[in-house]
Amino acid sequence: MLPTLAAYGRGLPEGWRSYPECRASATLLSSLETAGALDGLDALPEELAKYIGPVPSGWIPEVAHVAVLLAIRDRRFVGEGSEDAFITWLHRLNTELLRDRSAVGPDRAVLEFPALWSSLHLGTRVEVTALGPGHALLASVHPEPLFPALANRWRRDAVAAHLARAGAVQPRVTELGRRGDATWVDLAWT
């Protein structure tokens, strides 16, 4: 039983075929395959099973990317505190994958983040709408149900990890909510 995955699928307007224009780089799943995280993921819907073992190259549906991560959460992180443990595990993986950006500093890293996002995702985008000393505002433009609350949480954590790799001290990433076609996020650091 994969309850988080099932709830995600029910919330998509066309199930696993939703938002075909939104794609993710298959390298995002390849890194999970290398870490052994895709092993034993059974009971996936047929439309999703084809994206694990071996992971295809190129671009995959963003829905499949999110769904596989939710399936990992459901399969490997159960019980009290499981969501926090899952986010901690993803944080370690993201930290290993992210390049050291300390030479550019947090301000430059924020400005580079939309290009980093676009190198890994198609059909969605991140925009920097404000940048000041120790503070930035981002708009993540995407169809609303594409990223459920847990996915938004792991995405915020990835931004914090990116900032930390750029030398930001105590990066804080706070979701401000949804306005229009974007989820707004406040970044702060010292």
- Collapsing DSSP to helix, strand or coil, 108 comes out as helix
Residue 184 CB partners (closer than 8 Å, separation 6+): 137, 138, 139, 140, 175, 176, 177, 178
Looking only at the bridges linking them, the beta strands covering 125-132 and 59-61 are unpaired
How many degrees, rounded to 5, is the angle at CA 164 between CA 161 and CA 169?
135
57 has a pLDDT exceeding 90 = no
What is the pLDDT, as a whole number, of residue 131? 97
Contact 64, 9 (CB under 8 A): no
Read off the pLDDT band of 97 (50, 70, 90): confident
Digit-coded pLDDT (tens) for 23-35? 999 999 988 888 8
Compare 42 and 135 and report the one with higher pLDDT. Answer: 135
Cα–Cα distance, 23 to 65 (Å, whole number): 8
> Is pLDDT above 90 for 76?
yes
Distances (CA, A) of 116 to 4, 33, 109, 113, 165: 28, 21, 10, 5, 14
Give the pTM: 0.94
Residue 187 has pLDDT above 90, yes or no: yes
C-alpha to C-alpha distance for 114 and 100, rounded to whole angstroms = 17
Q: Report the Cα 88 to chain-centroid distance in Å.
A: 13
| Burial profile 33-67: b = 16 or more Cβ within 10 angstroms, e = fewer | beeebbeebeebeeebeebbeebeeebbbbbbbbb
Residue 148 has pLDDT above 80, yes or no: yes
In this structure, what are the phi and psi dihedrals at residue 125, rounded to the nearest 5 degrees?
A: -150, 165
pLDDT tens-digit map of 150-178: 999 999 999 999 999 899 999 999 999 99
